[in-house]
Structure 1
Amino acid sequence: MKVLLNSLRKPYRKKIILTLACLPMFAFASSNNAPQLPTQEHVMAQMEKVANWQVARTQHMTHVGRARAGSEAYGRWIQGAFYKGLTKLAERSENPFYETWIGYVGNAHNWKMGKVKYFADDHVIGQTNLWYYRRHKNEEALAPVKDTFDWLIEKAPDNSLEFVAGRNKDNVHNCQWRWCWADALFMGPPVLFELSAITGDPKYADYAHKEFQATIAYLQDPKSKLLFRDSRYFDKQGKFGEQVFWSRGMGWVYAGVVHVLENLPRDHQYRSYYESLYEELTLAIVELQKQDGAWPMSLLAGEKYAEPETSGTAFFTYGIAWGINSGLLDRNTYLPNVKKGWKVLSSAVHPDGKFGWVQGVNEKPDVVTKNDSQLFGVGAFLLAGSAMYDLLEPQ
């Protein structure tokens, strides 16, 4: 951190140091206890406050080059999800620190992808690579992404999507050569669609579309329209006797569809499929929001889940706000969902900037407390904040 700060011009150093300090929270004013829209200034202050807290407490950021074990290593999904959110903040903040930081860390790690070349969890960092490439034409950021997917498309894995016990030599399940779990739809497809947009080569989008459709066909419940996390949950019941549809698992899917749509022009041959899917998922999701504005960790458990889990809530708030901004959803109809969701997220920000109520690494509904936080939860919060910020843009 000190090295990076010293590398910036003095006015920027001063601004960054000031914004790394605790920022004040802004309350929602309301005469009838219904949540009101915040100001853009409030949303930006919250985003920067949370991002600053997280940057300052992420080990690899202060010790670039030091190895991190497991899924927390650079290039893997936990950091990849955080950086996806940080790119959205960098696009909107007047503070140059965030974009500078993304470039600094990416360059320090040679823009590498995750260690398992076919595994979607190790692909999500590619979204940050491509974002940086678009803004800086940095070929070093593009090359690892293209190499990974050229290799994968040539391999053309046809493994079963059934999630069975046992791991292979890469410590992943054999079905994970493909997108056999809901989370993968956030991690992998958006990278491929954007790679097609950047290179002009349709093979990446064609591969992604084929595999995306296969996953939806396999994991989507025809009645609720929700996706099971993976095939192990087809027949499981939650602690209240409900079918198990995990909030964050569905959040990964919903945000993944948004990111695919962001990379498809209006006249693209695949656009209508993803718009229809987005609208179908939206209708299912909004019905499940609790009275307090959060979504239950087990989506069909409703009010029985008292805890305001924030990672799923952030993804849903993000996706609905994005739909309003994009003209896919009616503002008057869906704005109440967004306002209630944002109130939950904003209230989960601790005075020092820590973002709480984030369920830890998991694959199903479990437990969460006010003090629980994680990089991927911060990434989801920054996504939600970016859509809220855009929603508040003067018409």
Structure 2
Amino acid sequence: MDRRQFLTRSALVAAAPALPILTTHKAFAASSAESRSGDLVAPSDQLPARNELVAVARQVADHWISTHSDSGDNGWARATLFSGLMALYRLTREPRYLNYTRSWAEKHAYGIRGGVTTRHADNHNAIQAYLDLYEIEPSANKLTAATDTLRRMITNQPNKNDDWWWDDALHMALPAFARIGRIRNDPAFWDKGYQLYNHTKRVHALYASDLGLWYRDGRFIPGGIVSPNGKPVLWSRGNGWVAGAHVKTLKALPSTARNVPEYRETLVRLITALHPIQRGDGFWNVNLGDPQHLPGPETSGTSFFTYGTASAVATRLLPSATYLPMAARAWNGMVATAVHSNGFLGYIQGVGDRPESSQPINVNTTADFGVGAFLLAASELVS
């Protein structure tokens, strides 16, 4: 089934009444009102104290849980939420986060959306949260379907590597191949993951090697769709998915795995490309290739970029002196602009495949996958 045929069923994009913005970090006591009135206030390039950062993340997570008694389906969007929630659990050891995630996984019997024969990366995204639960509470049944569906990718049509035709797919499935391979001590999973990745990167030609950034899919490569100003369309969240994929995959693979150098170099290129195009308010635009194309803050892409930058700094792939302030500006900008006083997270572009999708974006637009990305960013900044 074409992913675009069921996107609208895959994520909750909710609206909420306009509420005050959270100003936990004292540097932003006045910036919210000023920025919303049109006067840009640059966020601090220093991270707040660890306890303040964690408090914001917990408030965002708690708001989501308190307003979503139904934990939802096991599609890609909700699975991204749980990936972030489990990262926050590992940081805080708050039982509520583990219990909410466990009940969700058990509701779906640790199964795969579309069944184990699916080759669609979106359907494989839930495996990451199942792995998080397995690593805390090992039980073979948690990975039965996950291992089966990925192994079928290896053994059924072994030379078929064209399944990941859009860049989001890297986040949805590549980390699962890396982690299952480590747990099963079977490099065949790593090899297959790389073959699929390499096809996306070089055969589908989604990697703009001269820019260090990625096109969302083949419609946007040179000669295809451009912005109204004739500039490239390099979707922010699409590149965010790519950043998240590289971080999670590198966390899983041993440093000696043969494709690690390429994964590292590609992540570094992406994060380096982001540095000069960060907005003055700490965010990145929905189109990284054209600052005039639907300009404005957007939280999901910015969250993933914060996650990727924090990881690159923590693993010494990039210098802290230059890139930690970039991550701090992004985090502080999101807290000042997107986080409501009750923990509702706004300025998230809803489900889509390009900058024009789910517009307009504002302080009251949210989505589960954006909350998950924000929690991943928070957890990486303080880990």
Q: Equivalents in 2 of 1:370, 1:108: separation in Å?
A: 32
* 1:50 has 2:60 as partner: yes
- Return the letter of the residue paired with 1:89: L
Separation (CA, whole Å) in 2 of partners of 1:387 and 1:202: 27
Specify whether residues 141 and 25 from structure 1 end up closer, same or farther in structure 2 by C-alpha distance, changes over 3 A only.
Answer: farther
Q: Distance in 2 between matches of 1:98 and 1:23?
A: 24
**Superposed, which structure 2 residues align to 1:241-256 within 5 Å?**
241-256=230-245
* CA positional deviation for 1:107: 1.7
Separation of aligned partners in 1, 2:267 and 2:166:
18
**What is the identity, as a one-letter code, of the residue corresponding to 2:77?**
I
Report the counterpart of residue 29 of structure 1 in structure 2: 27
Cα distance, 1:104 vs structure 2: 2.1
1:77 aligns with 76
Q: Structure 2 vs 1, CA of residues 304 and 209 (structure 1 numbering), >3 Å: closer, same or farther?
A: closer
Specify the alignment match of 1:196 in structure 2. Answer: 181
1:233 is the counterpart of 2:220:
yes
Deviation of 1:60 (Å): 2.5
2:325 match: 336
CA distance in 2, matches of 1:48, 1:107: 23
- 1:101 equivalenced with 2:114 (yes/no): no
TM (norm. structure 2) is 0.85
2:199 pairs with 1:214 = yes
Question: SS of the counterpart of 1:301?
Answer: coil
Measure the CA separation in 1 of the matches of 2:96 and 2:28.
34
Cα RMSD (Å): 2.1
| Contact 1:295 1:308 (8 Å CA) reproduced | yes
Which residue identity does 1:150 align to in structure 2? R
Distance in 2, matches of 1:38 and 1:387, equals 14
Q: Quickly say closer, same or farther: Cα 1:33–1:238, change in 2 above 3 A.
A: closer
Give the number of equivalent residue pairs: 342
* Larger displacement relative to structure 2 (244-253 or 304-313): 304-313
Unaligned runs of 5+ in 1: 1-21, 62-72, 162-177, 391-395
CA distance in 2, matches of 1:328, 1:346: 26
CA separation in 1, counterparts of 2:88 and 2:295? 30
Distance 1:33 1:287 in 2: 15
Please show how residues 1-12 of structure 1 align to structure 2 within 5 Å: none
1:108 CA displacement: 2.5
Matched residues in 2 for 1:87 and 1:380: separation?
A: 11
**One-letter amino acid of the structure 1 residue matched with residue 248 of structure 2:** H
In 2: Cα distance, 1:282 partner to 1:128 partner: 25
Letter in 2 for 1:26: T
Greater alpha carbon shift after TM alignment, 34-43 vs 75-84: 34-43
**Residues 194/245 of structure 1: CA separation in 2 closer, same or farther (3 Å cut):** same
The letter for the 2-side match of 1:225 is G
Q: CA deviation at 1:285?
A: 2.0
Going from structure 1 to structure 2, the CA distance change for 1:138 and 1:221 (only over 3 Å counts) comes to same
Alignment of 1:375 onto 2:368: yes
Within 5 A, what are the aligned runs for 1:1-395?
25-29=23-27, 35=44, 36-58=46-68, 60-61=70-71, 74-115=73-114, 117-156=118-157, 161=162, 178-217=163-202, 218-234=205-221, 235-302=224-291, 305-347=294-336, 348-366=338-356, 367=359, 368-390=361-383
**1:136-162 CA distances to partner (integer Å, 9 max, x unpaired)?**
11212111100111222222366685x
Residue identity (%): 30
In structure 2, relative to structure 1, the CA distance for the partners of 1:157 and 1:354 (3 Å cut) is farther
In structure 2, stretches of 5+ residues that fail to align are 1-19, 30-40
- SS for the counterpart of 1:29 is helix
CA distance in 2, matches of 1:307, 1:59: 32
Residue 277 of structure 2 aligns to a residue in which SS? Answer: coil
Structure 1 CA distance for aligned equivalents of residues 43 and 69 of structure 2: 40
Amino acid at match of 2:351: V
**Distance (whole Å) between structure 2 residues aligned to residue 33 and residue 278 of structure 1:** 26
Residue 365 of structure 1: SS of its match in structure 2? Answer: coil
